[in-house]
């Protein structure tokens, strides 16, 4: 560890080490958007790991502090894996099919950041959760 | 994956560690590596979550799922179900005792509803042994801000304006203490952290030091800058080995980063912190006794003035604050005095950490805004009295405090309101008593503690409190008279008036407050020789009534064979042999045993 010589350097270290705790800080935010990736056998076989790591990387790059990525079980549409469900508080969840790295990037860029749905990839609106 | 997708937080506080959370942590690491998940999922040992009743606690982010009473054997299920398949494990989720429904997120748990965490903000969120975790949540930025942007005088004004009062007991304005130390002339000054937490049942200071040690170090450095001190001492009891260990790690890491030591952040300001271990004497929580102890002398208080701010450690101007007070400083600097003042009551801004103990469902550590009603702490946060029994009183402020009866449950708690009903804030211990607790006996318990802990320097405390205890022993053994009650009152007043330090001055408080609110119980003890709660055994007799069906259960369970009688016939108790343990009373299926 080298010495920190100024407040700016301290702030730089804060930004660098944020990656270590931000999923905890975001997890405490009740208004966060949750991206649930289907990580059952079918999802993983279809490449859900790539989907998940792309989502995490893109969130990191964009510096979004209100988005969590969680793994979820089989969503039932095994033919359309990898699946990503976007859960925004107060809105109906949206499910996207065949989310490869490119589509994962698009979900972050369009849906999460701008609120524009990817109409060509939605597989069905779910009934609101209880 | 470039970063961990999931964090598993295992409580590393003393409470959970003593019920195998250390083992849970190890099993997690082992099983994650066996499942090739070590690059995706991180296990972190944190400080206390406060819900000790339900420990060991495991919390999973980003899902924000809160598992309770976790056993090492549950780990493989958490990994196979939650980590791999994204499903919660329902049987180790918290179950709401009223609705019987399981709750996954901690903010849905009633225990956390009314809580607001300032002093405990990082406990259960960060890894206390990792300085980068603290920095990532704006740690040391308050110090940085002070050193580069705020003058020493303005730091003191900010602390003064926030209205922060000492969280260790008396509730003196922190800013006022800093100002006194600032104004004192001296070539050398000291900053002292009082971590000699001694009230029975209180453990907030330990939890802060175990869960967020850097916040205390940062605050001490801020104070050092403000008052002009270059040296800090943390006086901590050796009975807190985990807190001592984590403080040592924290000091080392802060020194490596140059956040403690010489020329901090290139500002020219230097500050060093060392630890001083105490042997666990209650009186050393008194600041002058504490400083004597640091100097290697007997832990005895001395007269004030001179106050520590004038002549403290090694006769140099010193400022002593309690751990919880320190933990409030960085947020006040970063968010401002107005933010702090907006929380709590006018004369007691901010929050207070309370340690709930005794006959209460949710034993643990809670941080609530000042001004909250006693009833809300006990029933909403604390989940009510254990076993559905009737609430009788709550003891606040430890051995120096008093008992508050059920009539005052709607009291809005702050420093002044507690004092007005004859108790005090103290360090924030709250011991709940139910209908089976005898208030005379409770007063005796606290007196036993203070008599044991009196340093013996002044006569009123050394001898007076012992006489008080002897009178209480006489009353609880059924030998008391009404004259004894007058004697108790007079002697209490004399001790309060003439003792040297706060230990002696406040020692009679439990007696005075129980006499004030539970006079009937004292009268019943001395006049009728009865203990209505059934705690003072020498005044009790057990008798078998004719409801007895002769089942022999009592006779079989009696530890001293004092009960005789044959099957299906009326039994009887030999009073000469009976030790009044109450086993027969509790075991009888027909309530045929009478306690009078």
User: Each residue of A2-42: pLDDT tens digit?
Assistant: 899 999 999 999 988 887 888 888 888 888 899 999 888 88
Provide the CATH number for the domain around residue B482.
1.20.1440.230
User: Containing H/E element for B45?
Assistant: strand B41-46
The answer on B240 and B326 residing in a single domain is yes
Residue B346 is assigned to a structural domain of this protein: no
Provide the CATH number for the domain around residue B556.
3.30.70.20
Q: What is d(CA A55, CA A26) in angstroms, rounded to the nearest whole number? A: 15
Residues in B closer than 8 angstroms to A57, CB to CB, are 2
* Alpha helix positions (H), chain A: 7-27, 41-45, 48-62, 101-106, 113-114
The answer on B479 and B386 residing in a single domain is no
Strand B6-11, strand B190-195: pairing? unpaired
Instruction: Count CA within 13 A, CB hemisphere, residue B467.
Output: 16
Q: What is the pLDDT of residue A128?
A: 44
- Over pLDDT 70: what percentage of chain A? 94
Q: What is the ipTM of this complex?
A: 0.85
CB contact (8 A) between residue A1 and residue B256: yes
Q: What is the pLDDT of residue B324?
A: 97
For residue B578, give both structure tokens.
């009976």
Would you call B361 an interface residue with chain A, using a CB distance cutoff of 8 Å? no
Encode B49-88 in three state secondary structure.
Answer: CCCHHHCCCEEEECCCEEECCCCHHHHHHHHHHHHHHCCC
Portion 469-488 of B in contact with A at CB < 8 A:
none
Q: What is the pLDDT of residue A124?
A: 65
Domain residue limits, chain A: 29-125
Instruction: Give pLDDT < 70 ranges for chain B.
Output: 1-2
Residues in A closer than 8 angstroms to B61, CB to CB, are 23-24, 27, 68
Q: Which domain holds residue B56?
A: 6-108
* Alpha helix positions (H), B460-582: 465-476, 482-498, 502-506, 509-517, 519-526, 553-557
For residue B79, give both structure tokens.
């990994």
Minimum distance, in Å, between the CA of residue B520 and any CA atom of chain A:
50
The answer on B466 and B567 residing in a single domain is no
Provide the CATH number for the domain around residue B429.
3.10.20.600
Which of A4, A26, A63 to mutate against chain B (most B CBs within 10 Å)? A4
The number of domains in chain B is 5
For B168, residues 6+ apart whose C-beta sits below 8 A from its C-beta are B194, B285, B321, B322, B323, B324, B325, B427
Residues in A closer than 8 angstroms to B45, CB to CB, are none
Would you call B86 an interface residue with chain A, using a CB distance cutoff of 8 Å? yes
**Structural domain ending residue among the three candidates B315, B341, B367:** B341
Q: What is the pLDDT of residue A44?
A: 84
Q: What is d(CA B536, CA B397) in angstroms, rounded to the nearest whole number? A: 24
User: Which of B86, B253, B259 is the closest to A39 by Cβ?
Assistant: B86
Residue B120 is assigned to a structural domain of this protein: no
Residues in B closer than 8 angstroms to A27, CB to CB, are 61-64
First to last CA, chain B: 71
Residue B119 is assigned to a structural domain of this protein: no
For B383, residues 6+ apart whose C-beta sits below 8 A from its C-beta are B97, B110, B111, B360, B361, B362
Residue B569 is assigned to a structural domain of this protein: yes
Which of A19, A20, A28 to mutate against chain B (most B CBs within 10 Å)? A20
Among chain A residues, CA nearest to B142: A7
CA B274 from chain centre, in angstroms, equals 24
Would you call A73 an interface residue with chain B, using a CB distance cutoff of 8 Å? yes
For residue B52, give both structure tokens.
């000790």
Minimum distance, in Å, between the CA of residue A67 and any CA atom of chain B:
9
Q: What is the pLDDT of residue B3?
A: 76
User: Each residue of A43-97: pLDDT tens digit?
Assistant: 888 888 889 989 988 988 888 888 999 888 777 788 888 999 999 988 888 899 8
Residue B126 is assigned to a structural domain of this protein: no
Residue B319 is assigned to a structural domain of this protein: yes
Phi, psi of B103 (to 5 degrees): -125, 130
Residue B54 is assigned to a structural domain of this protein: yes
Establish, for the pair of chains A and B, how many residue pairs have beta carbons separated by less than 8 Å.
Answer: 115
The answer on B148 and B175 residing in a single domain is yes
**Structural domain ending residue among the three candidates B434, B460, B494:** B434
CB contact (8 A) between residue A68 and residue B63: yes
Residue B533 is assigned to a structural domain of this protein: no
Residues in A closer than 8 angstroms to B64, CB to CB, are 27-28
Q: What is the CATH number of domain A29-125?
A: 3.40.30.10
């Amino acid at each position: 560890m080298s010495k920190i010589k100024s407040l700016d350097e301290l702030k730089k270290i804060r930004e660098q080490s944020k990656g270590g705790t931000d999923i905890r800080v975001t997890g405490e935010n009740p208004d966060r958007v949750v991206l649930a990736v289907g990580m059952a056998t079918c999802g993983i076989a279809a490449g859900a790991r790539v989907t998940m790591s792309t989502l995490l990387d893109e969130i990191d790059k964009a510096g979004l502090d209100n988005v969590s990525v969680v793994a979820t079980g089989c969503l039932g549409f095994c033919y359309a894996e990898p699946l990503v469900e976007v859960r925004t508080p107060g809105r109906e969840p949206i499910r996207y099919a065949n989310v490869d790295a490119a589509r994962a990037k698009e979900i972050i860029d369009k849906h999460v950041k701008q609120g524009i749905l990817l109409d060509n990839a939605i597989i069905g609106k779910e009934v609101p959760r209880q | 994956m470039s970063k961990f997708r999931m964090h598993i937080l295992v409580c590393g506080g003393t409470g959970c560690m003593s019920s195998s959370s250390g083992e849970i942590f190890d099993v997690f690491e082992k099983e994650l590596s066996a499942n090739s998940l070590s690059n995706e999922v991180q296990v972190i040992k944190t400080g206390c979550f406060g819900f000790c009743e339900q420990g060991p606690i495991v919390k999973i982010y980003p899902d924000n799922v809160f598992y309770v009473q976790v056993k090492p054997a549950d780990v493989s299920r958490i990994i196979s179900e939650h980590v791999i398949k994204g499903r919660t494990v329902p049987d180790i989720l918290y179950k709401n005792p009223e609705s019987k429904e399981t709750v996954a997120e901690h903010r849905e748990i009633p225990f956390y509803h009314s809580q607001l965490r300032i002093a405990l903000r990082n406990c259960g969120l960060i890894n206390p042994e990792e300085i980068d975790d603290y920095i990532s949540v704006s740690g040391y930025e308050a110090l940085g801000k002070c050193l580069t942007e705020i003058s020493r005088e303005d730091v003191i004004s900010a602390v003064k304006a926030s209205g922060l009062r000492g969280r260790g007991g008396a509730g003196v304005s922190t800013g006022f203490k800093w100002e006194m130390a600032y104004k004192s002339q001296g070539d050398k000054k000291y900053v002292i952290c009082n971590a000699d937490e001694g009230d029975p049942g209180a453990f907030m200071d330990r939890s802060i030091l175990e869960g967020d040690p850097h916040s205390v170090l940062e605050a001490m450095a801020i104070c050092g800058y403000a008052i002009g001190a270059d040296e800090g001492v943390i006086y901590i009891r050796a009975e807190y080995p985990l807190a001592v260990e984590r403080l040592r790690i924290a000091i080392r890491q802060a020194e490596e980063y140059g956040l403690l030591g010489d020329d901090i952040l290139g500002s020219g300001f230097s500050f060093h912190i060392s630890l001083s271990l105490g042997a666990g004497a209650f009186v050393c929580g008194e600041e002058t006794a504490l400083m004597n102890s640091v100097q290697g002398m007997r832990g005895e208080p001395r007269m004030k003035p001179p106050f520590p701010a004038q002549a403290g450690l090694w006769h140099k101007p010193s400022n002593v604050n309690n751990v919880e007070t320190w933990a409030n400083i960085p947020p006040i600097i970063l968010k401002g005095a107005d933010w702090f003042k907006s929380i709590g009551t006018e004369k007691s801004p901010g929050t207070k950490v309370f340690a709930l103990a005794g006959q209460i469902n949710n034993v643990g550590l809670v941080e609530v805004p000042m001004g909250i009603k006693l009833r809300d702490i006990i029933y909403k946060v604390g989940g009510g009295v254990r076993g559905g029994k009737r609430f009788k009183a709550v003891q606040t402020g430890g051995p120096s405090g008093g008992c508050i009866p059920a009539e005052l449950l709607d009291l809005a708690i702050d420093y002044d309101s507690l004092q007005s009903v004859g108790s005090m804030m103290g360090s924030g211990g709250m011991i709940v008593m139910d209908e089976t607790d005898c208030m005379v006996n409770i007063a005796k318990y606290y007196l036993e503690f203070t008599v044991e802990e009196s340093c013996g320097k002044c006569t009123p405390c050394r001898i007076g409190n012992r006489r008080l205890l002897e009178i209480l022993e006489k009353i609880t053994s059924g030998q008391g008279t009404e004259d004894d009650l007058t004697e108790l009152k007079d002697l209490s007043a004399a001790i309060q008036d003439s003792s040297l330090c706060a230990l002696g001055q406040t020692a009679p408080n439990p007696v005075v407050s129980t006499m004030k609110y539970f006079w009937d119980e004292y009268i019943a003890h001395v006049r009728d020789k009865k203990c209505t709660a059934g705690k003072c055994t020498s005044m009790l007799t057990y008798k078998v009534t004719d409801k007895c069906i002769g089942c022999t259960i009592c006779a079989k369970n009696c530890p001293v064979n004092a009960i005789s009688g044959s099957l299906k016939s009326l039994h009887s108790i030999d009073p000469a042999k009976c030790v009044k343990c109450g086993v027969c009373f509790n075991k009888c299926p027909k309530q045929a045993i009478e306690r009078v």
